[in-house]
Each structure stands twice: as structure tokens, then as C-alpha cells.
Chains A and B, each alone.
Chain A
């Protein structure tokens, strides 16, 4: 009854606040779209200068999506490289082909080396291995690989921010005091917030998942129901963590200060970057981060098409985090009312 009243109030407040609604629903879509444009552009097409390269190789390189500019002398080609007109120069020297890379962009370096290697190999060897993919495929772009993590991250980030600020405002405007001067239980306050916000996080999760998969065309091997479930659980974790941490902030700015401490490290440890190269005990830190479990499950479902038995541990851990944060929140409210 009181929980329902609190939930209805939060929903009414939300509906009247168009800008916050836009932040919750449209901002993640905008950022995801930008990410898609940035990371899923056309294949890199390097400009390669050649000196005395046999026609067969030039043809091979052009076919492999490189712009070939032929030079008469090595000096001319090197000059063009220095003037930033070329990404690489290939010349035939005394000891065979020599490659000079422009070198300032690692991803471009790798792309060129791979391209040249493939071209030379195609000429040299007749045994080309047959390549098959267990998951994903040759067309999978970087965006498809970390997209699932981004879906989870943005749900988490925006819900954390909104929940934190809303609960803080309840405190600073004095309405929490008034709330606690009524016979509402502390647990009812927390549950009311969960219910009211839960509705919006559910809608947000569905919107983000639908948009990513059907509009942005993100790679999707699993079931959308599972994606929604994980996304919702992540949002609930963000909601309970946001309201809990708002107890330790005395104004909106201090909520913002939690972003570099609580949100950004989670992004690093959530699978956006490969952690295998990291010190093993540092890798363990990720076990304490809710986003790690959410991202793990999301990647499993969307890329590897995992089923319930594969990601259920992640579900239990996320539920555990939510329960823990909610419980701590009930305790934190003791600061405002002893019973």
C-alpha cells in the first residue's frame, strides 16, 4: 500500500520531467549510435606507395582494398611518407621487399602488415588453411564484440545517476524527513523506490536492447529475452547502488564525483578491454564489480548464443548485489530514523 503510493509518486514525477525521461531513454540510444558510427565505419583503406614493385603484387594489393601510388624512386616515396600523404611504402631492396610504415597509428600499422602479408602469402603458398568460426564470423566488427558490454554499461550508468540524484533530492528537499515522519518502514521506502524506478528501467532495457539489435544491427546469436533479463538485473543493481551511495553524498555534485570512482573502473574491468595481459591478482578485482558479471552474460548471450545454464551464475551474482545494496540502504536510512 505505502510501497505502491511511493512507486506511483515516483512514476508521476518522472512523467512530468520530460528532460529526465529523455536522458533515460534517448541518451543511451544516441551514445550507442555514435559508438556504432565510430567503431563500425568502412574497412580501413591505406594509401601505400610502391617503388619497383612487380605488377602482380600491385594488383593483389589493390584488390585487397589499398590505394596504390607508384613512385619512380625511393626518395620520392619516402618524401611523400614524411609529408603524411602515404601510410606505408613498399620497395624492393637488395634483400627482398622492404616496408616502411608511417607508424603513428597502431591499428593502421596492423591493418597494413596484415594486408601485405595476405597478399604475399596468396602468391607464395598454395596451401591456404580453411577458416571456420565457432562464434561470430568474418564480418563481425569491433562494435559487435563490445556492443553487448556497452548496452549493459549505458543502462547501468544512466540508472545509477538518476537513482542517486533522485534519492539525494528526496533528502535535501526535506521530503525524506517528512516521509520518515509517517509510519512507513525503512524497507518500504527502499522497495517503493525499486518498484517506481524498476518500471522505467524495464522500459529502458527493452528500448536499448531493441534499438541495438534491430536498428543498429548488432550481432545477436542468443535470445532477446535473456538480454532483457540481464539488462534489467544490471539496472536494478545500478538503482540500488545509486540510492545507497547517495546517502554518502550531500549534493548533486558529490553524486557526480562517484562516477570516476564507481562507474569508470567498472567500464575498464567489464570486458571492453582484454584483461588477459593484466596481472592475475589485479584481474581478480573484476570479481567485485557488478558490471563485469552483466557484461560477461551479455557477451555470452549475444555473441556465443549462450543459454540459461551458461550464464545463470551471473544472474545469481547480480541478484545478490542488488539484495546486498538494498539491505545496506535500509540500514543507511537508520541515519535518518532510528526505527
Chain B
């Protein structure tokens, strides 16, 4: 019984969203979103602040639950407690314990995912090496620079070797050099077959994704490769495409046309 889903899980999409609705206090934040993300894809969610990106991310991971529609992760319906083991999550905030050392932070988050003993130590060393923090593991995180915290936060999300990585604005507020290094790591992981979903509102980052989903006012207004989106909008850059598609959307739905 358990063998069949796991065999199928290889073929199942990483995420499958069907007609997602989410309301807060009577206000519709996400409206009729359907989206399929195959395994191994580097998928970017693009949209202005307040467009519903973070809400969508939380629905994709099962931290939050939709008011309507369904979400499946690797073929399993979510929210489901055991599926929280399947992905790595990095929120906008660094979400680290400043009093503790880098290693203590990683050990704690590793233990939450059931890692222990030698296996835990091996994984801590592996992820620390990946984000180049091996020499700083003994320092309290409070003494880390902003970039080091960001990298440690990413390392914590990778500890349990998730097949799906969900990152909410991983490069917000960090310098260009570090941004490049974070994206280099994401590309490496993507090539290893890890599915990555990343939100951003930095347009040049969007171009590095395999596919992009553009979200505006709670609606998914376009899903395609960056090149195809630019071509369809008949413009030169992602940024222009985003603005053009946003205006079309506003005219079509008859709302916000004057904005």
C-alpha cells in the first residue's frame, strides 16, 4: 500500500493547485488559482508587495488552508502533518535564535525534522559547507552579518534534504554579491533535481527561473517561461511585461482600471 504512492511520487508533480480561494475577514486575497509545478523545476512567483505571494506560499506548504479548492504536494493532499517533512521552508524573516551559535541553531532545526546523532552532525557539516559557514558555526548568530544569517537560514531549510524547497523572498535586503551567491546555490540545488519555488519582486532574479507565475491582486495573470512571457506581452524585459500584463488584467476584470 505504501509502496504505490512512493513509486507514483516520482512521477507526481511537486505541487498541484486547483481553483484555490483564500479570504481573510471577508476580503478575497487569492482567487481561483490553478497551477502545476513539476518536480525539478525552479519556479518563480512574481508580484508586487501585498499581491498574495506569501499567502499562496503558505497554502502551498500546508501551513495555511485554503477556503476553496485543493492543493496536492507530491500527489498527497495537504494540509497534512507528515507532508511538512517533505519540504524545506525559508521565510522572509531570518527566523534564527540570536543567542545560540550557528551550530546550535542547525542542531535544533535538524532535530525538529527527526535528524539525530551522527546523521545530524553530518548534515550540519554538509549544509554549512554548502553556504560557506563552516568556520563560523561556533559563533553566536547575533554576531553574524546580515548575509551570514540569510545563508544560515537557507542552510537550516536544507538540513533534512527536502525534495521541495520553498523560499519566500530569499534575497530581500541583501547585497548584490550575496544575492548572486544565494542564486548560485539555488541553481546548484535545482540541477541536483530539487524542486524550488521562490517568490521575488526583483525582476532580474525572475529571469533565472525555469518558469514564472505572475500574481496580481490575488489572481495568477500569467504562467510561462520568462522568454514566452516577454514575447506574449510584446515588450523587451520582464519588468515591462509585468506592467503590461497587469494593465491588461485590470482592464479585463474591470477593476482597478484607473489605478
Contacts and interface: CB of A to CB of B under 8 A. Distances in A.
A and B, one complex?
yes
A181 B84 contact: yes
A181 B89 contact: yes
B82 interface: yes
B134 interface: no
Given A1-B111, A5-B111, A13-B100, A337 B85 contact: no
Contact of B63 (A2, A174, A175, A177): A177
Interface in B84-112: 84-85, 87, 89, 91-97, 99-100, 104, 107-109, 111-112
A6 to B, nearest CB: 8
Given A173-B95, A338-B65, A9 B113 contact: no
Chain B residues touching A, range? 20 to 34
B99 A13 contact: yes
B61 A12 contact: no
A183 interface: yes
Contacts of A2: 111-112, 114
A339 B84 CA distance: 11
Contacts of A182: 84-85, 109, 112-113
Contacts of B112: 2, 5-6, 179, 182-184
B180 interface: no
A16 B101 CA distance: 10
B156 interface: yes
Given A1-B116, A178-B156, A184-B112, A339 B80 contact: yes
A16 B140 contact: yes
B113 A175 contact: no
A72 interface: no
Interface of A: 1-2, 4-6, 8-9, 12-13, 16-17, 173-175, 177-185, 336-339
Interface of B: 61-65, 79-82, 84-85, 87, 89, 91-97, 99-100, 104, 107-109, 111-114, 116, 140, 156
Given A13-B99, A181-B63, A181-B91, 20 more contacts: A1-B114, A2-B114, A4-B111, A5-B112, A6-B108, A9-B100, A9-B108, A13-B97, A16-B140, A174-B94, A177-B93, A178-B109, A178-B156, A181-B61, A182-B85, A182-B109, A183-B114, A339-B62, A339-B80, A339-B81
